[in-house]
Structure 1
Amino acid sequence: MISKFKILLILTLFLSFLSCADKENKISEIVEVDMESQMSNAYKEGYSELQRGDVILAAKKFNEAELLFPQSPWAAKSVIMAAYAYYIQDYYSDTIFELERYLATYPNDKDQVYAHFLMGVTFYEQIVDEKKDLKSILESKKQFELIINEYPDTKFATDAKFKIDLINEILAAKEMYLARYYLNKTMWIPALNRFKTVVTEYDTTIYTEEALHRLVEINYRLGLVDESKKYANVLGYNYQSSDWYKNTYKVYNKNYRDGIKELQKDKKKKIGLIKSFKGLFD
């Protein structure tokens, strides 16, 4: 049998453990409350500095807020705010660094769409020359396409579609630049491939008409008449009233004359004919 002394000792130790555990929990709660308070203050300071226009200090305060209490729901938001602070001052590399870190550290955060949109806009605003800035163009398009596919019902998706239309115009312009270069150098096959890219991948852009005409022209020159007529039919069906269609018509009709000029000539003939008739009654 267990002696009364042993029972008393066990109870004493048990109560001691409970007391220690309770103290530890209270200390932990106090520390957590204190860290959350510090984080809240750092975040508020960051927001205040952002309002004042000191984006560097603002970003540092937001980073400090995250480090003080990384398990808080506000930690992820602090990273996005740091990225935004850098973005509004055009510190694009710092913006991208913060956003990439956010996406890697908080993959399940509810504000992922904000990060992807800000990333897309950051790359988009770095596009200066379609002949050189291919990385920025493709990266921005990647982010906007992700938003359209994964967040189709958000306001960001609507703006992303508009941005992609503009990006496609830029990419088409790049293809046309290269295609015209090859065309001027009489390098038919590379030119042909570039014009085909415009027609197949960027068919909603302003460059489609010219690209179709060039495909008619080059294929005809290479003796690929059926292929040439195929593109001529597409051009005629979609852009029959355009100047590029008139140029295409000239490829097959060497004696083709501009319809407007002919109409003007016919009017002159009509006036001359009326004068002739009047002369009969004078």
Structure 2
Amino acid sequence: MLSKLKITLLLITFIFIWSCGDKTKKISEIVEVDMEMQMSNAYKEGYLELKRGDVLLAAKKFNEAELLFPQSAWAPQAAIMAAYSYYSQAYYNDTIYELERYLISYPNHKDKVYAHFILGMSFYQQIVDEKKDLKSILDSKEQFEIIIENYPKTEFAMNAKFKIDLINEILAAKEMYIARYYLKKTKWIPALNRFKIVLTDYDTTIYTEEALHRLVEINYRLGLIDESKKYANTLGYNYQSSDWYKNTYKVFNKNYRDAVKELQKDKKKKVGIIKRVKELFE
């Protein structure tokens, strides 16, 4: 009799737990549907505000959508849209904050490459003075290098390569600026080292020719003739028709330098004669 009572109680308890569990599950599903609807509405509001041009409100709505239902597949998309809203109106610091947070929160999201590109552009757009603002330049380059290394077949990779070329021009310009300063102050060794950096790190930039010539010039002044000739040969092999090569040729060829001076004198004489002839007919 007692065992039958126990069995009956166990069955009642099981039915009660099962019915409660089923009810909890249904409530959970209803809440989830409601949260998803609220998120969807907030996302739509954000999109509409972005189209209207109120990017601050748009970003706020996208953030709200993400917070309402962070487990949703749309949450990382809302985070990116918040960042893009800021980026569209040049709020670069806010853009950077949102994207860095997104990359930490959603490390495996499918749109990571887009986040890296906009992050790189946000740093790039803040480059004001290459002589001073080194951090923005390097941060930007880092993001574009991530794209080229990890997403080489995407449409962003080509844009990233182009941006890195421009960044390298900026970095090379900075090195040239410092090197010329040392050259002007006749500080040969620091100048030499800076011009070498241009050759080793930025050899595809427009500053390569001048850097080679300056290395020829400085080494020649220091009495390092073989070293000077080495750079002169490199310059001649790659840029034989350039003005920098002509200047380098003058460093070694005294007769050439004297001949150029004579030609300049003859030119001045001819100009003077022509001027006097003209005056006769005025």
- Global fold match (TM > 0.5): yes
Matching residue of 1:197: 197
Listed as ranges, the matches of 1:213-232 within 5 Å are: 213-232=213-232
Listed as ranges, the matches of 1:32-111 within 5 Å are: 32-111=32-111
Counterpart AA for 1:167: I
2:74 alignment partner, SS class: helix
Task: Please list the CA deviations of residues 45-93 of structure 1 after superposition, one character each: whole Å capped at 9, or x if unmatched.
Answer: 0011000000000000000001000011111111111111111111111
Matching residue of 2:250: 250
How far apart, in 2, do the equivalents of 1:231 and 1:4 lie? 102
Counterpart AA for 1:161: K
How far apart, in 1, do the equivalents of 2:54 and 2:45 lie? 11
Counterpart AA for 2:98: E
Matching residue of 1:28: 28
Matching residue of 1:18: 18
Counterpart AA for 1:89: Q
Matching residue of 2:273: none
TM-superposed CA distance for 1:26, in Å, is 0.1
TM-superposed CA distance for 1:8, in Å, is 1.6
How many percent of aligned residue pairs carry the same amino acid? 78
How far apart, in 2, do the equivalents of 1:45 and 1:78 lie? 12
Counterpart AA for 1:115: A
| Unaligned stretches of 5+ residues in structure 2 | 271-282
Matching residue of 2:6: 6
Matching residue of 1:277: none
In the alignment, is residue 161 of structure 1 matched against residue 158 of structure 2? no
Matching residue of 2:174: 174
How far apart, in 1, do the equivalents of 2:71 and 2:122 lie? 28
| Unaligned stretches of 5+ residues in structure 1 | 269-282
Task: Please list the CA deviations of residues 72-131 of structure 1 after superposition, one character each: whole Å capped at 9, or x if unmatched.
Answer: 111111111111111111111111000110111111111110110000000111112111
Matching residue of 1:138: 138
2:162 alignment partner, SS class: helix
Counterpart AA for 1:26: K
TM-superposed CA distance for 1:4, in Å, is 2.4
How far apart, in 2, do the equivalents of 1:153 and 1:101 lie? 25
Counterpart AA for 1:137: I
Matching residue of 2:274: none
Counterpart AA for 2:186: T
Counterpart AA for 1:230: K
How far apart, in 2, do the equivalents of 1:17 and 1:94 lie? 49
Counterpart AA for 1:235: L
TM-superposed CA distance for 1:2, in Å, is 5.5
TM-superposed CA distance for 1:242, in Å, is 0.5
- TM-score (normalizing by structure 2): 0.90
Q: CA RMSD in A?
A: 1.6
TM-superposed CA distance for 1:5, in Å, is 2.2
Counterpart AA for 1:216: V
- TM-score (normalizing by structure 1): 0.90
TM-superposed CA distance for 1:12, in Å, is 1.0
Counterpart AA for 1:156: F
2:152 alignment partner, SS class: coil
- Paired positions, count: 263
How far apart, in 2, do the equivalents of 1:183 and 1:138 lie? 26
Counterpart AA for 2:16: S
Matching residue of 1:239: 239
Task: Please list the CA deviations of residues 131-156 of structure 1 after superposition, one character each: whole Å capped at 9, or x if unmatched.
Answer: 11111110100000110000000000
How far apart, in 2, do the equivalents of 1:75 and 1:3 lie? 54
Counterpart AA for 2:19: S
How far apart, in 2, do the equivalents of 1:229 and 1:6 lie? 103
How far apart, in 2, do the equivalents of 1:142 and 1:255 lie? 50
How far apart, in 2, do the equivalents of 1:32 and 1:2 lie? 44
1:24 alignment partner, SS class: helix
